[in-house]
Amino acid sequence: MQQTVNIIKVGGNIIDNESKLTTFLTDFAQLKGLKVLIHGGGKVATEISKGLGIEAKMVDGRRITDTETLKIVTMVYAGLINKNLVAKLQSKGCNAIGLTGADANIIPAHKRPVKEIDYGFVGDVEEEKMDGVVLSALLKSGLSPILAPLTHDQQGNMLNTNADTIASTVAVSLSKHFNVNLIYCFEKDGVLDAEEKVIQEISKPYFAELKEKGVVIAGMIPKLDNAFAAIDKGVSSVYIMHADGLPTLINDSKNTGTKIS
Ligand SMILES: Nc1ncnc2c1ncn2[C@@H]1O[C@H](COP(=O)(O)OP(=O)(O)O)[C@@H](O)[C@H]1O
Ligand SMILES: CC(=O)N[C@@H](CCC(=O)OP(=O)(O)O)C(=O)O
């Protein structure tokens, strides 16, 4: 039987809140089995940019990343956030190793081609080049990889890449070696319907309907697109749920949040 890996993605709203982050990392450190953490941090990057006099520009949930912004996101994601997460997890007994997509060529990408919009140094992942071999070896040696939302263009440049996309592509590449569960953690109880109730299971047609009605908007649209892409490409299960639900889902094997079907 194949071993199971839990791939957890955590976004900027949890990372930016000290008490929510502490709870999340305590739970992550105590999760049973093999695990990978993908972190975002868009909110922190926006605040730091602002402090440096650079106004963040987002289009369809993606940051327009010019030369100065690339320097900021590289410092914030690969340095400040990634290394603090690693240090905190080490203090909780989790043997974490922090990496970007450039390290060991884990996530090759290319600069997004300019069409109507020039996103600058934003990476589109070359999923077909990802074989999951390095991450698999790290997991089998007892380490928990902590991945920052940065890729590289294989010509010497770092690229800023949406963390939800990193989570989905890493999950797909690891599903060649393991049974993979992908879990998107955020600050709400799951995908909410028009009455703000948690949708227990969401299908593609229902997602299309909710998008059409304006019930699913903003960052939840690319999150669900990435979630469905992972399921279509061989990931065993995908959930979108509150960060507090991790022990319930993984350690107690009880459903919580929204399951992608
Ligand atoms: N129907 C919905 N249910 C839940 N959240 C939604 C919905 N539609 C939009 N959202 C928004 O999507 C956000 C999550 O996406 P995003 O901002 O990318 O978060 P993260 O940084 O955690 O990945 C939530 O904070 C919420 O405001
Ligand atoms: C290209 C692009 O938009 N990259 C994202 C990467 C961080 C991220 O995805 O953070 P959250 O998960 O916290 O939103 C950004 O710079 O905002």
**ipTM value of the model?**
0.98
Tell me the pLDDT tens digit for each residue of 101-131: 999 999 999 999 999 999 999 999 999 999 9
For residue 209, pLDDT beyond 90: yes
CB of 40 closer than 6 A to ligand 2? yes
Q: Domain 9-260: what homologous superfamily?
A: Acetylglutamate kinase-like (3.40.1160.10)
**218 C-alpha vs ligand 1 centroid, how far in Å?**
7
Tell me the pLDDT tens digit for each residue of 12-69: 999 999 999 999 999 999 998 999 999 999 999 999 999 999 999 999 889 999 999 9
How does the average pLDDT of the chain come out, rounded?
A: 96
Q: Is 120 assigned to a binding site?
A: no
The predicted structure's pLDDT at residue 61: 83
Q: How many of the other CB atoms lie within 10 Å of CB of 177?
A: 18
Token pair, residue 246, equals 């991790």
Tell me which residues have their CB closer than 6 angstroms to ligand 1.
11-13, 40, 42, 164, 186, 188, 191-192, 215-220, 223
The predicted structure's pLDDT at residue 236: 97
Query: Which residue(s) pair with 99 in the sheet?
Result: 147
For residue 251, pLDDT beyond 90: no
CB of 120 closer than 6 A to ligand 2? no
Enumerate the domain spans of the chain.
Answer: 9-260
* Closest ligand by atom to 59 CA: 2
List all residues 6 or more positions away from 90 whose beta carbon is below 8 Å from its beta carbon. 96
Orientation of helix 163-174 relative to helix 133-140, angle to 10°: 80
CB of 257 closer than 6 A to ligand 2? no
Probe target for ligand 2 pocket from 10, 162, 184, 223, with the most ligand atoms within 8 Å of CB? 162
CA distance 93 to 203: 38
